[in-house]
Chains A and B, each alone.
Chain A
Amino acid sequence: MNAVVTASGLNKRYKNTVALDHVNFRIESGRIVGLIGPNGAGKTTALKAILGLTDFQGELSVLGLDPRTQRDRLMEQVCFIADVAVLPRWLRVREAIDFVANVHPRFNRAKCEAFLARTKLTPDQRVKQMSKGMIVQLHLALVMAIDARLLVLDEPTLGLDILYRKQFYQSLLEDYFDENKTIIVTTHQVEEIENILTDLMFIRDGKIVLDTDMEAVGERFAEVMVSADKAATARSMKPLDERQVFGKSIFLFDGADRATLESMGEVRRPTVSDLFVATMKGTYA
């Protein structure tokens, strides 16, 4: 497998905050990576560095190119949706397609139009007449018609209703993603992308605190529901987190012995959100 993104010693500081603190990571081809972290943890900075939108120290190679100096070439193979509703308000659907079709060498017009045919968008409609959900539909149609090797999504569904959100990820999975493509996505709505991710990265205070694939998450982390009498034993095993439900305690363990856990109660795989909350405990304190 070849690496799509390799970062080593990635460092970026703004005036008085450290956005990225000597970060190292590697993203392989054909993965869907969730980059998840609290507000201000450095997610967007990391994505901006990958997209060549910001300066940084350290080494970063995206598809074998340096995003700082070879950005123009890089953008032929990389695509991104930086945020909802960043399409210019004066742009018409027809103009958007014409423009991208003529400046992007890897754009497939038929594919874009086929996707738009499934929406309510009309060629003469302007972005300013669209709802937030429709803007995302247009943006997604443009992006999905581009045969890019890396797609970066930064909070692509923020502020959308659940219908648009579901449709967004479903379209990506069904009509876009394949083994030659890589997707990096950040979002706060972790539950919705949990089952489509292949890899998980937690970022906190500019540091990667967890970098694993989803299978390993199930092997490494476990959640046990323990009745009150065994709670003390569980607590002595240094759980990551503890919470109370219906008089029972739920403990989250990292790398604990399976057999011991099973002897204490019902063991299950933690959800990404529970894992996230446990890992990020005290962030805002």
Chain B
Amino acid sequence: MKTFYWLVKREFWEHRGGFLWAPIVTGVVFLVLNIMAIITAEVLGSRHGFEIGGGNWQMMITKADQGDLAQIGAGLDIAMLSSMGLISIVMGIVVLFYCLGALYDDRRDRSILFWKSLPISNTGTVLSKVVSATILAPVIAVVVAVIIGIVQLVIFALVLSLHHVNAWQLITLAHPFRAIGTLVSSIPLYALWAIPSVGWLLFCSAWARTKPFLWAVAVPAVLGLLVSWFGIMGLFNLPTVWFWKNIVQRALLSVFPGSNIVYSDSALEATADLGDSHNPLSVLSPMHTYTLLGSPNLWLGVLAGAVLIAGAIWYRRVRDDS
């Protein structure tokens, strides 16, 4: 267990740039862009002689009915979560390339010979990389996103209080704790959902003698094209759309957080709810996303991922090209 902890720590040391700095930089850039937008609005506003909201915000809020308040709250929630959207995309890219390099880079620069000179099992090594991709990376991303989200909320509150709006009252309209809870609760589901992609990418990383990226992308893409082609030619009645959606995308794109929402049958239902409350939190709420636990797609993916990870462990042992 101690060895495993240090193996994960080693991954963090090696990939501090991707795991830690990438989300932080993304979040800070996001904040800076927002602040720039706010300043622009303020400057343009005062230059043209009117104040945004005309100083009537407080009055508006006092007079707003329940539905309007919910909309304001939803707006603030979106503001708080929006940084997570960007950070998620960056994290997905980081995890994708991390997995492709995880079992390949040290073979290429031969430092695998150093790691293999230590009493570490191949299983431990590969699993530490799985954990880094499916738990370590999203946990860091969520922590960063939560901090950025709170800062974002505070900035909005401060700006609005300059316009004589009671910031505290405004913040009570938002649901920061619910938003944080939603983000945190999405991590285990992400881990399960990402397993087939992580497995496939690690497998390519352990197996490929050169260019793991090419193999990882080309194999599913070519298979998909073949399936489509057979479909067009009418040779076999292959389910083309199903293949692209459930094999190609699951193998490559499931490392992107939120990619599961597309597959969730209840997503539509959630969108319907969105119509009612206008709150994006309902789409992301665990009550909706975790219905995925009941779908065979998730569990077949986990199974496929486990098989691929076992394959990666096998190739980690037998590939002897360093």
Contacts and interface: CB of A to CB of B under 8 A. Distances in A.
B44 to A, nearest CB: 47
Given A87-B111, A89-B109, A139-B114, A102 B13 contact: no
Contacts of B6: 98-99, 102-103
A104 B114 contact: no
Interface stretch (A72-80, A110-118, A252-260, A273-281): A72-80
Interface stretch (A48-56, A165-173, A232-240): A48-56
A86 B114 contact: yes
B245 interface: no
Contacts of A80: 113, 117
A117 to B, nearest CB: 22
A102 B118 CA distance: 11
A103 B119 contact: yes
B119 A75 contact: yes
A54 B118 contact: no
Interface in A225-248: none
A100 interface: yes
Nearest to A77: B119
Nearest to A85: B110
B2 A102 contact: yes
Interface residues of A, number: 31
Contacts of A91: 13-14
A95 interface: yes
A51 B13 CA distance: 27
A88 B3 contact: no
Interface string B77-116: 0000000000000000000000000000010011101111
B119 A104 contact: yes
A25 interface: no
A83 B110 contact: yes
A51 B320 CA distance: 12
Given A100-B118, A103-B3, A86 B113 contact: yes
A103 B117 contact: no
Interface string B107-146: 0011101111111110000000000000000000000000
A146 B118 CA distance: 10
A75 B6 CA distance: 17
A105 B114 CA distance: 16
B14 A90 contact: yes
A72 B119 contact: yes
A47 B83 CA distance: 53
Contacts of B109: 86, 88-89
A82 B113 CA distance: 6
A3 B116 CA distance: 24
B164 interface: no
Given A53-B320, A54-B320, A99-B6, A88 B119 contact: no
Contacts of A79: 117
B114 A88 contact: yes
B10 interface: yes
B117 A75 contact: yes
Given A48-B320, A86-B111, A103-B6, A95 B117 contact: no
Interface in A90-148: 90-92, 95, 98-100, 102-105, 139, 143
B10 A55 contact: no
A192 to B, nearest CB: 23
Contacts of A55: 318, 320
A199 B121 CA distance: 32
Contact of B3 (A48, A86, A92, A102): A102
Nearest to A152: B117
Nearest to A106: B119
Nearest to A45: B320
Contacts of A103: 2-3, 6-7, 118-120
A82 B107 CA distance: 13
Contacts of A83: 110, 113
Lowest 10 A-B CB distances belong to which pairs?
Answer: A82-B113, A88-B111, A75-B119, A76-B119, A102-B6, A54-B320, A72-B121, A86-B113, A86-B110, A103-B3
14 contacts: A53-B320, A72-B119, A75-B116, A75-B117, A75-B118, A80-B113, A86-B110, A87-B111, A88-B115, A90-B14, A95-B13, A103-B118, A105-B119, A143-B117
Interface of A: 48, 51, 53-55, 72-73, 75-76, 79-83, 86-92, 95, 98-100, 102-105, 139, 143
Given A72-B121, A86-B113, A103-B7, 17 more contacts: A48-B320, A51-B117, A54-B320, A55-B318, A75-B118, A82-B110, A82-B114, A82-B117, A83-B113, A88-B14, A90-B13, A92-B13, A102-B2, A103-B3, A103-B119, A104-B118, A143-B117
